[in-house]
C-alpha cells in the first residue's frame, strides 16, 4: 500500500476497551483512519496512549457516552465517517442480572441513539459486537448463524435485542449495511504485551483468572464443573485470539466497502448488505482443563485449581461454524491456543496491575 494511502474514516465506539484497543491497531495497520469514542466507564486513557505509541501516531480520542446524542451529533458533523464499529457496551453477565435497567439503558438505549444519529448524518454502515451468548444452549455443534437464538440473562438479552433492532432497521430501509459479529471466547493480548484485558476486581472470565493465579494475585482457580458430557468433564469453549478477532473486524469493513462500491457501480441491481450476522471463532473447542494445561506448558507456571459446582447459566460446549466468515469475509483465525496463553501471560507479567 502506498505510504500516504488512507482508507475511509471509521468511528470506533468503545475503542478504549479490550477488544476495541486491539482492533484500533489492526484498523490502522490496514490503512483505516480512526476516531475512538468511549466514556471510559470500563477502560482507561492509558490504553489509548499505548495504542498511540504502538502505531506511532496519536489516536483521535473523544471522551463521550453513546447516549449523549448532542455530542455524537457534533462528532458526526465534524467528520466524514464511512462507518462505525460499535464495541461500546457493558458486558458483565452477573452485574446485568443485578442491574438489568443499566444494561438495557446503556447497551440497547445507547445503540438506538447511535443509530439515530448515524441516520441523521447518512452514515449507514455498522459493525456491531454481538456474542455467541445469543445462541444460549445450542441444539447442535458447531453453531452456525441460523441456529435458534435464546438468552437467559439481561446482558445476553441486550445483545439479542440489538440484533433484532438491526434486523428491523435493515428491513425498513434497505440502505443500511449492518454486520453483527458474534464473538465466541476472545482471549490473549497484543504480542507486544502493551495492551490486554484489564478486568476490574476479581475476574469472572477464565483466562484472566488463570493469569492472575499464575502471577500470584489469586490463590486458586475454581473450575466450575467436571461432570459435563465433554472430553474431560469440564466446559468446552471456542477460544479465539484477540488479534485474530481484530482482523475479523478489518475483514468485515473491507467487505462492506467492497459491497457498497460494487452496488454503486451496478445501480440497476442496487442492494445493500442488510443485516448480516457472522460468527467469529476458530471452529474448534478447547476444554477448561486443556486450557489450564496449555497455559502451564507455555509459561512453566503451575496453576493450582479445584473442581467446584457448575456455574449457574453455563453450558457444556460451545464452538463456531466458521464457514460464513471464511466465504464472505475471506477471514480465518490463525493463532493457536499456545499463542493465546503466551500473549496473555506476557501482558500479565508486564502489567501485573493492568493499566494502573
Torsion sign (Cα): 109, 16, 28, 337: negative
Q: CA-CA distance, 159 to 171, in Å (whole number)?
A: 19
Partner from ligand UD1, ligand NAD, none binding residue 32, C-beta < 5-8 Å depending on class: none
317 touching ligand UD1, by CB under 6 A: no
Q: How many CA atoms lie within 13 A of 92 on its CB side?
A: 13
89 touching ligand NAD, by CB under 6 A: yes
Q: Coil, strand or helix: which one is 250?
A: helix
Partner from ligand UD1, ligand NAD, none binding residue 88, C-beta < 5-8 Å depending on class: ligand NAD
Site pattern 236..275 for ligand UD1 (x: CB under 6 A)? -x--------------------------------------
135 touching ligand NAD, by CB under 6 A: no
152 touching ligand UD1, by CB under 6 A: no
Q: Coil, strand or helix: which one is 236?
A: strand
Backbone angles phi, psi at 286, to 5 degrees: -130, 135
Q: Is 155 a catalytic residue?
A: yes
Nearer to ligand UD1, 205 or 336 (CB): 205
Nearer to ligand UD1, 76 or 155 (CB): 155
| Closest to 340 (Cα-Cα) out of 350, 330, 348 | 348
Residue whose CB is nearest to ligand UD1 in the complex, by number: 235
Q: Which of 6, 31, 41, 80 binds ligand NAD (CB under 6 A)?
A: 41
249 touching ligand NAD, by CB under 6 A: no
205 touching ligand UD1, by CB under 6 A: yes
Backbone angles phi, psi at 294, to 5 degrees: -65, -40
Identify the bridge partners of residue 13 per DSSP, sorted by sequence position.
37, 86
- Beta strand spans in the chain (E): 9-13, 33-38, 60-63, 81-86, 125-131, 177-183, 185-187, 221-224, 236-237, 239-241, 274-280, 286-287, 305-308, 317-318
63 touching ligand NAD, by CB under 6 A: no
83 touching ligand NAD, by CB under 6 A: no
Q: Coil, strand or helix: which one is 273?
A: coil
Site pattern 74..93 for ligand UD1 (x: CB under 6 A)? -----------------x-x
20 touching ligand NAD, by CB under 6 A: yes
134 touching ligand NAD, by CB under 6 A: no
User: Which residue's C-alpha cell is 493499566?
Assistant: 355
Nearer to ligand NAD, 187 or 294 (CB): 187
Partner from ligand NAD, ligand UD1, none binding residue 246, C-beta < 5-8 Å depending on class: none
Q: CA-CA distance, 311 to 296, in Å (whole number)?
A: 24
Q: CA-CA distance, 230 to 317, in Å (whole number)?
A: 7
The residues binding ligand UD1 (CB under 6 A) are 91, 93, 131, 133, 155-156, 185, 204-206, 209, 221-224, 235, 237, 288, 311, 313-314
Q: What are the residue numbers of the active site?
A: 155
Amino acid at each position: 500500500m502506498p505510504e500516504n494511502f488512507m482508507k475511509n474514516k471509521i468511528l470506533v465506539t468503545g475503542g478504549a476497551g479490550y477488544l476495541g484497543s486491539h482492533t484500533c491497531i489492526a484498523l490502522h495497520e490496514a490503512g483505516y483512519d480512526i476516531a475512538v469514542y468511549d466514556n471510559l466507564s470500563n477502560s482507561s486513557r492509558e490504553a489509548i496512549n499505548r495504542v498511540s505509541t504502538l502505531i506511532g501516531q496519536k489516536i483521535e480520542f473523544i471522551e463521550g457516552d453513546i447516549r449523549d446524542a448532542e455530542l455524537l451529533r457534533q462528532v458526526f458533523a465534524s467528520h466524514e465517517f464511512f462507518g462505525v464499529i460499535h464495541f461500546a457496551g457493558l458486558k458483565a453477565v452477573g452485574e446485568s442480572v443485578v442491574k438489568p435497567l443499566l444494561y438495557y439503558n446503556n447497551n440497547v438505549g445507547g445503540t438506538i441513539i447511535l443509530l439515530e444519529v448515524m441516520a441523521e448524518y447518512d452514515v449507514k454502515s455498522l459493525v456491531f459486537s454481538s456474542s455467541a451468548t445469543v445462541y444460549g444452549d445450542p441444539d447442535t455443534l458447531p453453531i452456525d448463524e441460523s441456529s435458534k437464538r435464546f438468552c437467559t440473562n439481561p446482558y445476553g438479552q441486550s445483545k439479542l435485542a440489538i440484533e433484532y433492532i438491526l434486523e428491523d432497521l435493515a428491513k425498513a430501509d434497505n440502505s443500511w449495511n449492518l454486520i453483527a459479529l458474534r464473538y465466541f471466547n476472545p482471549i490473549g493480548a497484543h504480542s507486544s504485551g502493551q495492551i490486554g484485558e484489564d478486568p476490574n476486581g476479581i475476574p469472572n472470565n477464565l483466562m484472566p483468572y488463570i493469569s492472575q493465579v499464575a502471577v500470584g494475585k489469586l490463590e486458586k482457580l475454581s473450575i466450575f464443573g467436571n461432570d459435563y458430557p465433554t472430553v474431560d468433564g469440564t466446559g468446552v469453549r471456542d477460544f479465539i485470539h484477540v488479534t485474530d478477532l481484530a482482523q475479523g473486524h478489518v475483514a468485515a469493513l473491507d467487505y462492506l466497502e467492497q459491497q457498497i462500491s460494487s452496488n454503486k457501480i451496478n445501480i440497476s441491481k442496487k442492494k445493500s448488505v442488510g443485516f448480516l450476522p457472522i460468527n467469529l471463532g476458530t471452529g474448534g473447542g478447547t476444554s477448561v482443563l486443556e486450557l489450564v494445561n496449555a497455559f502451564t506448558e507455555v509459561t512453566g507456571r503451575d496453576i493450582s485449581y479445584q473442581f467446584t459446582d457448575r456455574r449457574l447459566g453455563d453450558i457444556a460446549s460451545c464452538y463456531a461454524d466458521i464457514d460464513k466468515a471464511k466465504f464472505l469475509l475471506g477471514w480465518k483465525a490463525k493463532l493457536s491456543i499456545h499463542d493465546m496463553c503466551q500473549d496473555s501471560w506476557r501482558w500479565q507479567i508486564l502489567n501485573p496491575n493492568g493499566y494502573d
